[in-house]
Amino acid sequence: MIGIVDYGMGNLFSISKALERLGYDYEFVTDAGKLSAYDGLLLPGVGAFGDAMRNIRELSLDRALRDYAASGKPILGICLGMQLLFSRSEEHGSHEGLGLLSGEVVRFQGDYKIPHMGWNRLSLKKGASPLLDGVKDGDYVYFVHSFHVRVQSDDVLLATADYYQDVTAIVGRGNVYGMQFHPEKSGDTGMRLLDNFAKQCEGVTT
């Protein structure tokens, strides 16, 4: 069973429908005390980083999410959810994140269209990951974001995209993963990535 964390700022409908199409069971979860019951967690998100972290703290989900990650079970952050995995964000001030991965969320800067919106190619990095099984260099995924993650170490980078610079697209360290784009809106490639994550949740002992 996969838990979709509902803290009031996630695109729950589209991600849940994607899991249904793939044939995986899921539940929406808001109770911090129930997180440990799930074989894997999805942390979706749309909106502002500071508002999201405030909601997460008010629901006591911050400590619960850190404990869950420490348990070794798979967790995947999507869009804003990926950004929340990192140390901090400069969006509308300075805000502390969950700190599961090291890096900072910063705004795109330059004379080009912001937000970064639309289809873009993935550039896969060295190193194998079960999350990327069947995904090819150059596959397209769908982005919508005005802020991006500047990782502290390239070791967590699984894939980038090119938008006037290298943009962090997929991250992973151990059981903690993130995707800046929307896999549920990214066609066959996005569905394959979600399927790869869900397969890692199968057989996990709760």
- Return the active site residues: 79, 182, 184
Residue 131, burial from CB neighbour count under 10 angstroms (0-12, 13-18, 19+): buried
List all residues 6 or more positions away from 4 whose beta carbon is below 8 Å from its beta carbon.
Answer: 10, 12, 15, 16, 19, 26, 27, 28, 29, 41, 42, 44
Which amino acid, 13? F
Length of the chain, in residues: 206
Which amino acid, 196? N
Q: d(Cα 41, Cα 197) in Å, to the nearest integer? A: 10
- 43, 174, 182 from 141: Cα distances, Å: 18, 23, 7
